[in-house]
Amino acid sequence: MVQIISRADVTAERIVELLRGQQVEAVAQGAAVIVPTTHFDLTITTGDWLIARATWAGELTTADYVRSLVALNAANNSGPIPKFSIDTPANHPGGLVSVLKADEGPLEVSASVVYPLGEGVSENQLRSFLAEVINAGIRLTREFHALYPERSEQVAGETFRIGVAEGAPADRVNAQRVEQWFIAQGVDEAPYDPETGCISLSLDDMPVDVDFADPEVLQVQASMLLPGSPDAQEDIDATAFLHLCNRANLDSLLSSISVIKQHEILGIISHVSIPIRAGLNDSQLDQALNGGVVGATAQMRAVLHRLN
């Protein structure tokens, strides 16, 4: 029988113990776990959600902002996990807007991963989350080493091996469990479409998809193309549009939004993505789908409101 660690017992000290058991150096600082590495630093905080943030070690300034925005938007569109964003360092006295207005100051790029704790998790689920977090840091490093090789440490990074097993059969996330969840919420129909690999529905006139294309990721997304022809959209300031999405990503705990283009028409897609390689129990699935639907649609509406 799988032993469940209650949410209250998923503490910084417990995560440090687990990481050290996997030969990963980590320290607890209050409610946070810090994992320093050669190319990125990890910060993991506990609460209702596990939230991990990998920050690239390379130095950036406001002069790099636009180039980084373009790269981060492309990275956010290339896969559901992690969420990429750019901001001022946490210890900097000024926020992103003030630094950009002054056109001077440090910036940092980060990649984040979230995970629902529900009423409790298994140790295997924790290991799976931590493996995903380290992969996020590695991917962030690769993206920005390619963009700014002169600002990266020219040495090999650490090797991480976190053992993860398949989740319990009852915890496997599939279309049937998600359909049943929507029905329990009062949604009359939430059918799975095998051709698209999605459960698609409309909530308050907002199209929402639960995408099962990646068996290791639960992705709840809302997307919309902007009105108007390609010619009419030429007046849209692309940099300002990317900046708006980056600000929305900094404001959101769970969701990630990015600019897309389909048939030369601009649009936006917001999604909440949860690693599910080790499965989700019922309380975790409930939290993930609630957070996903609310997070993705709210972020979409906020960006659309600012655009209008």
pLDDT of 198: 95
- Whether the predicted pLDDT of 2 surpasses 80: no
- Write out the two tokens for 46: 């506990």
pLDDT in tens, 68-96: 999 999 999 998 999 999 999 988 888 99
Q: What is the mean pLDDT of residues 137-155?
A: 89
Averaged confidence pLDDT in the chain: 91
pLDDT at site 71: 97
Q: What is the mean pLDDT of residues 58-68?
A: 96
Q: What are 97-137's pLDDT values in tens digits?
A: 999 999 999 999 999 999 999 999 999 999 999 999 999 99
Per CATH, 4-151 and 170-307 having the same topology is answered yes
Q: Report the alpha-carbon distance of residue 152 to residue 145 in Å, rounded.
A: 6
CATH of 170-307, one of 3.40.50.10860, 3.30.1460.10, 3.50.50.60, 3.40.50.920: 3.30.1460.10
Q: Residue 38: which of 160, 156, 146, 161 has the closest Cα?
A: 156
> If you write DSSP's letter for every residue of 84-109 in order, what string do you get?
EEEE--TT-SS-HHHHHHHT-SEEEE
Could you state, in order of their start, the residue ranges of all structural domains in the chain?
Answer: 4-151, 170-307
Fold of the domain spanning 4-151: Yope Regulator; Chain: A, (3.30.1460)
Three-state secondary structure readout of 176-215: HHHHHHHHHCCCCCCCEECCCCEEEEEECCEEEEEECCCC
Overall average pLDDT of the 201-210 stretch: 89
Helices (H) and strands (E) in the chain, counts: 7, 15
SS3 29: strand
Q: Which of 22, 48, 40 is nearest to 31 (CA)?
A: 48
Report strand pairing: 49-56 vs 40-45: antiparallel
